[in-house]
Structure 1
Amino acid sequence: MNIGEISYTNIIPLYYYLDRERLMDDGATITSAVPSKVNRLMEENKVDIGGISSFSFGKNADRYSLAPDLSVSAFGKVNSIFLFSKYPIEELGEKRIALTSSSETSVALLKVILHHFYDVAASFQVETPLFDQMMEQYDACLLIGDDAISANRVNRRYHVYDLGEIWYQQTGLPMVFAVMAYRKIMETEKKDLLSYVIKSMIESKERCQFEKFSPVIHKAMQEHGGDYAFWDSYFNGLNYEFNGEHEKGLNLYFRLANECGLLKTIPSILKFSYT
């Protein structure tokens, strides 16, 4: 079994306390990459379970199921998914927007937000997530994860919009940015190992929450800079559950993405019982 691990700070709590040595002894491997690459590897059957973009799950729901009680979500500001713009968001009609190559969920979310909430039709181009170069060539840019955090730390020139905040203001529902999904065939091929991995991820999440994310915060400070107060606010502002409200939010996201022509169908949400 190959486990996909998104190489962004926001998902660390789901992996932080995994017993990696035991997983290796059980024949599992862990592949770390940006969300778009983990998505692609899972679509190519090279990753069996992992944190993937919600949009990628939506495209592949006929082949994937969800692990219960795990996500990267926000009831409001997510503080790591930003649209930087030279213009107010409602004035982006016919403007050029650079999109990070690292994400699918956030790219689709931006298109949903502009179309449904602001009636704005812009043009889009996927680019390598380099803030200064993007803003030199375009009217706005979308960055996610650690790229977005770093850019927002130095930005003093542009309008900044948090997509999680806009979504929550407009819908009253959480935005589910990433889910823990697996290929359905794992339920028959590797059911015991699948159950162990899901249980371990839930336990890792719960331990990090019990510790108020303190070890994770220190790890983030060491790797990305910033002070304790920033990362404390960041992790405690995220939500790692997946319950009824998350399902409502994810279903609405899928429906609006379908109406925008971004998803061919509206997928059903299926979850695995690991007990």
Structure 2
Amino acid sequence: MSLVIGEISYTNMLPLYYYLKRDYLNRIGCMFVPQIPSQLNQAMANGIIDVGGISSFSYGEHVDQYTILPNLSVSSPKSVGSIFLFSKVPITQLDGKKVALTSSSATSVNLLKIILQTFYQMDITYTVMKPDLHEMLKEHDACMLIGDDAIVTLWGLSPEVHRYDLGQIWYEHTKLPMTFAVLAVRNEILQRENERISILYEGFMESKKKCIENNYSEMISSIRKELRGSEQFWQNYFYGLNHDLTERHIEGLYLFFDKATELGLLKKVNTISLWSALDHCHSI
């Protein structure tokens, strides 16, 4: 039986996957499925994906069914650089306005609701749309884009459009990192697949380590062939991201879940469970 691995198809997740020994992993029965976060979230919930990158919010929705792989995430200590609110007016003037949300995300969509409704105390009308700046802003006052869609949009953005980095706003109000995605495993396969999960986990950790050691240079060369952008832009982008999952990250996750619960977006998350090769999982 294959171990099906979800792979978020955005560059912000790439350091965890870039140096994986895919030929070897394929030989031992691992199969990779690259999709945008919202698709992976649904596939994991439906039991189609066994392990891999999902939105942090989706983990919160299925906290009793999933376990997180430790030391791995897509996070930002401050600015994330690829999750933006683009607005026709300053953010302080959005009360009572209409905001278009990308259909690609879960964490970022709910983070924006927390920011606008809790941090700024605004009443907003939301619409979920496909990620396209011009279409989204035709009938809306602002829109949110994430990942590579946000990066490419940023490069061609009109100076008249205001832009706000959601990671930066979160940090300014909480002084904590924001974790947008985690690597999670469905609990029902943990016992059965402990050996392959262990091999995969070591691969993720080694890939992250290699990217940091060579300053992301090899990976950036590959990215530029597809998305363009200067080497300096991508260096700055990856230096601004973080792929760890420390106690501070967990503290930020609990706060994010609590804020989502206060708005009725999520049921209360009491315990975050981390996988361990020795005892399979432990709670923190």
Fold shared, TM-score > 0.5 on shorter chain: yes
From 212, 215, 219, give the equivalent of 2:218. Answer: 215
Q: How far is the alpha carbon of 1:82 from its aligned partner?
A: 0.3
* Residue type of the alignment partner of 2:117: H
Matches within 5 A, 1:238-249: 238-249=241-252
Equivalent in the alignment of 1:92: 94
Distance 1:174 1:122 in 2: 25
State the match for 1:50 in structure 2. Answer: 52
Corresponding position: 1:28 with 2:42:
no
Runs of 4+ in 1 over 2 A off after TM superposition: none
Partner of 2:163: 160
CA distance in 2, matches of 1:118, 1:29: 43
Task: List runs of 5+ in structure 2 lacking aligned partners.
Answer: 279-284
Tell me which residue corresponds to 1:150: 152
Q: 2:93 matched to 1:68? A: no
The Cα shift of 1:186 comes to 2.1
Instruction: Please state if 1:271 is matched with 2:266.
Output: no
Deviation at 1:128, TM superposition (A): 0.4
Counterpart code for 2:134: D
The structure 1 residue matched to 2:190, chosen from 184, 187, 208, is: 187
Offset at 1:267?
Answer: 4.2
Q: State the AA in 1 paired with 2:131.
A: P
Preserved CA contact (<8 Å) 1:198 1:274? no
Q: Deviations over 1:115-174 (max 9, x none)?
A: 111001100010000111111121100000000001111112211000000000110000
Please tell me whether the aligned partners of residues 63 and 269 of structure 2 are also in contact (alpha carbons under 8 angstroms).
Answer: no
Aligned-partner Cα distance in 2 for 1:33–1:83 = 22
How many pairs were matched up?
A: 275
Alignment deviations for residues 30-67 of structure 1 (CA, whole Å, 9 cap, x no partner): 00000000111000000011110000000001000000
| Pair 1:120–1:56, CA change in 2 (3 A) | same
Instruction: Say if 2:175 is the partner of 1:172.
Output: yes
Please give the secondary structure, in 1, of the residue aligned with 2:176: coil
Amino acid at match of 1:52: I
Report the AA paired with residue 197 of structure 1. Answer: L
Whole-angstrom CA distance in 2 between matches of 1:221 and 1:235: 13
Partner AA of 1:213 in structure 2: Y
Which region of structure 1 is more displaced relative to structure 2, 184-193 or 11-20? 184-193
Matched, 1:135 2:129: no
Q: Are positions 1:196 and 2:199 aligned together?
A: yes
Deviations along 1:199-227, whole A, 9 cap, x unmatched? 11011101111111111111121111100
The CA RMSD measured in Å over matched residues stands at: 0.8
> Which residue identity lines up with residue 32 of structure 2 in the other structure?
I
Partners of 2:139 and 2:9 lie apart in 1 by 27
CA distance in 2, matches of 1:191, 1:129: 37
- Separation (CA, whole Å) in 2 of partners of 1:116 and 1:96: 17
Q: Note if contact 2:108-2:180 (Cα within 8 Å) is conserved in structure 1.
A: yes
SS of the residue 2:215 aligns to: coil
Distance across 2 between alignment mates of 1:45 and 1:21: 24
Q: What is the percent sequence identity of the aligned residues?
A: 45
